[in-house]
Amino acid sequence: MSTLLEVSGVSVSFDGFRAISNLSFRIAKTELRAVIGPNGAGKTTFMDIVTGKTRADEGRISWGDEGTSLRGLSEARIARMGIGRKFQKPTVFEDQTVQENLLMALKNKRGVFGVLFYRPSDRDLDRVAEWAGEIGLADHLLRKSGELSHGQKQWLEIGMLLAQDPRLLLIDEPAAGMTPQEREKTTDILVKAARTRAVVVVEHDMDFVRRLNCKVTVLHEGSVLAEGSLDHVTANQAVVDVYLGR
Amino acid sequence: MQRSFFARNPSALVFISILAITVLLVTIFSDAFGVGPISTSFVKTLGKTLCLCLVALAMDLVWGYCGILSLGHFAFFGLGGYMIGMWLMYRRTHDIVVASMAESALPPTPQDITDAIANQIFGVVGSADFPLIWYFADSLFLQLALVVLVPGLLALVFGWLAFRSRVAGVYLSILTQAMTLALSLYLFQNDSGLRGNNGLSGLQNLPGLDQVPQSVVSVWFLWGSALALALGYLLAAWLVSGKFGSVMRGIRDNEARVRFLGYSVETFKLVVFTLTACIAGIAGALYYPQAGIVNPAEIAPIASVYLAVWVAIGGRGRLYGAVIGAAFVSLVSSWFTGGQAPDVPLGFYTIKWVDWWLIVLGLSFVLVTLFAPKGIGGLVDLWVHRKSPDRHGADLGPSAGALREQEASE
């Protein structure tokens, strides 16, 4: 399997606090990966670095077959290169309909004039309807997304990410605040998405991670502590000490 | 799903109809063309109000839709006025000078004429030379181009610097206000080349049209202002109804999220900021010939704050809200401050509205912000029964589990 994203030797400090230290991480083109770790392990900072929100102090972040460096690129640029990100709190545009949200996310021209003269084609509307079906919101296309339930908003955001058609999806705690049925559905969506692209899920909830049934990376104090199947990492004494055995 | 422009923007059709009917009625009842109960000065007030509506529309685009609380758009408005004012004043002074020199024994050289015009215009600030910025003042076409270019360029440079460094929120507001203040202070100087605190005056007299009475000119400007407002409304409606509007509102509600969707937020902001500055410039260029005078006091930061107050009272985030706010507040304002409102004697104290109006305005701004954030435009929602989800300020957040709140269901 060829590598899509390779992070090597990356470090970041905030006012002397080393949030990420010498982190190395790679993910293949089609892979589902769970990232776990105690609070302050650097999970969110890791996402910030990859998506360009935070600048790395040192290290290398290379992307795709050409190994393009992502360091120093703007968030928007990185997003256009094919990295989508979902935040912990569902952040959909509440004042706009589900359809408008999805149309905005749909892979299309992102420049000012491209957007200005954009009129949704039938094909685009079909695609939006398709994604809405995928995330169970087909009947809610014209509702304002602010009216949706918490779980529905989470899905809408995942749907927006998928509509972006990214090659790498970074997802922060997708199952937070969901009912068991909603979690199951979320698992299905993610597993299905990971068949055609790379998906990295940051999650606290061990049951959810178990259900994802994928390779797990344990972060601790800003670097990788262990990597492997969930059973493998949970058997690791160091992991038990810092995280599971609390 | 593909619907026509007016189906997507029902307010545009209603708005333009109301505007057209108003203008028609005013024309019929004006001094110039009709039976005449509407005085020329009131026609001018209405024409000026339409220009204020146009700049409020620009403010609504930049603030209500894009979330940039600019306290500098009245500076762009004033600059537009200055640009057209330069031509008006130059041309008119030119005509007067040529007429008076025609009686002299020796025919004047072009240099004589230029010197005499400069003397006329800049005598009040103790100068007799044309500053470089008046270079194009002879050409109506170029000055009209500058009406758009000068505010646009200033907004472009300012916005590029501010947005690129991710200045946002209240800091951006302060920065725009500082820009406005700096510009106004600069123009107050006598050697700014724009006649210092005297400003440019006599703008109501159109060069070469001396024989046309002001009553007719006022109606022309009313038409021009109404046309500009209608076109501005259509442009704004087109901008906000499509995906561009989606992105704008997205930037207003969650800038970071839009960035992670791959849109260059800074570029979008810059385009909106610059475009609205150009619209403000056009509005100013139509306003000041009706006002007759433009001076640096017009550009003072307070004017831009008023602009924000109009849009807030009218209801930001909806185009007609901005227009209603600007029209309503500025007309009521001129009624109160014009000394027409009767004083209220309380026995121990007499309320003079000229003094108290600002307090009433300030109070209503606070009240609207606190209790009716949708503004006057929100009344339309009551009428068409549009509801927005009332989440009591709370998220349907993770702590509440996945249970949907009562109001989230239909």
Report chain A residues whose CB lies below 8 A from the CB of B2: 119-120, 122
pLDDT at B400: 40
User: Mean of the pLDDT values across residues A28-47?
Assistant: 87
Measure CA A103 to chain center: 19
Which chain B residue has its CA at the smallest distance from A152's CA?
A: B402
pLDDT confidence band for A226 (50 / 70 / 90): confident
Q: Report the candidate in A214, A213, A205, A220 with the shortest Cα–Cα distance to residue A174.
A: A205
Assess whether pLDDT exceeds 50 at residue B410.
no
Structure pTM? 0.89
Which alpha helices (H) appear in B338-376, and where do they start and end? Answer: 353-371
B410 at A interface, C-beta within 8 A: yes
Q: Do B253 and A93 touch (CB under 8 A)?
A: yes
Q: Residue B394 contacts by C-beta under 8 Å, 6 or more apart in sequence?
A: B400, B405
Q: Cβ A116–B242 below 8 Å, yes or no?
A: yes
Give me the residue label for tokens 């009625």: B25
Is the predicted pLDDT of residue B401 greater than 80, yes or no? no
Query: For the segment B63-83, what is each residue's pLDDT rounded down to a tens digit?
Result: 999 999 999 999 999 999 999
User: Nearest to residue B33, comparing CAs of B213, B272, B274?
Assistant: B213
Average pLDDT over residues A103-116: 88
Contacts of B313 (CB under 8 A, 6+ apart): B325, B328, B329, B364, B365, B368, B375, B376
Indicate the domain borders of chain B. 5-304
A115, B263: Cβ pair inside 8 Å? yes
pLDDT at B397 over 50: no
> Residue B250 and residue A93: Cβ atoms within 8 Å?
yes
pLDDT band at B404 (very low <50, low <70, confident <90, very high): very low
Angle at A212 between CA A206 and CA A213, to 5 degrees: 95
Question: CA-based angle A109:A48:B68, to the nearest 5?
Answer: 60
- The encoded tokens of residue A17 equal 């606090």
Query: For residue A174, what pLDDT band results from cuts at 50, 70 and 90?
Result: confident
What is d(CA B315, CA B325) in angstroms, rounded to the nearest whole number? 7
ipTM score: 0.87
Go through chain B and tell me how many residues it has.
Answer: 410
Do the beta carbons of residue B386 and residue A147 sit within 8 Å? no
Neighbours of A45 (CB within 10 A): 21
Q: What is the pLDDT of residues B173-194, one digit of tens each?
A: 999 999 999 999 999 998 888 8
Tell me the backbone φ, ψ of residue B100, rounded to 5 degrees.
-75, -30
Alpha-carbon distance B322 to B224, whole Å? 20
Burial class (CB in 10 A: 0-12, 13-18, 19+), B142: middle
Q: Tell me what pLDDT residue A154 has.
A: 85
The SS3 call for residue A91 is: coil
Whether A110 and B263 lie within 8 Å, measured CB to CB = yes
Express each pLDDT in B102-135 by its tens digit: 887 788 888 888 888 888 888 888 887 888 888 8
Residue B408 has pLDDT above 70, yes or no: no
Do A150 and A177 touch, CB atoms closer than 8 A? yes
Length of chain A: 246
Nearest CA to B326 among B343, B309, B338, B342?
A: B309
Show the CA angle centred on residue A97, arms to residues B240 and B60, nearest 5°. Answer: 30
How many angstroms away from the CA of A189 is the closest CA of chain B? 18
For chain B, give the mean pLDDT: 86
The structural domains of chain A, ordered by start, are: 3-244 (3.40.50.300)
CB atoms near residue B292 (< 10 Å): 16
pLDDT (tens digit per residue) in B229-257: 999 999 999 999 889 999 999 999 988 89
In the block, tokens 């600059």 appear at: B79
Number of H helices, E strands in chain B: 15, 4
With contact defined as beta carbons under 8 Å apart, do A242 and A220 qualify? yes
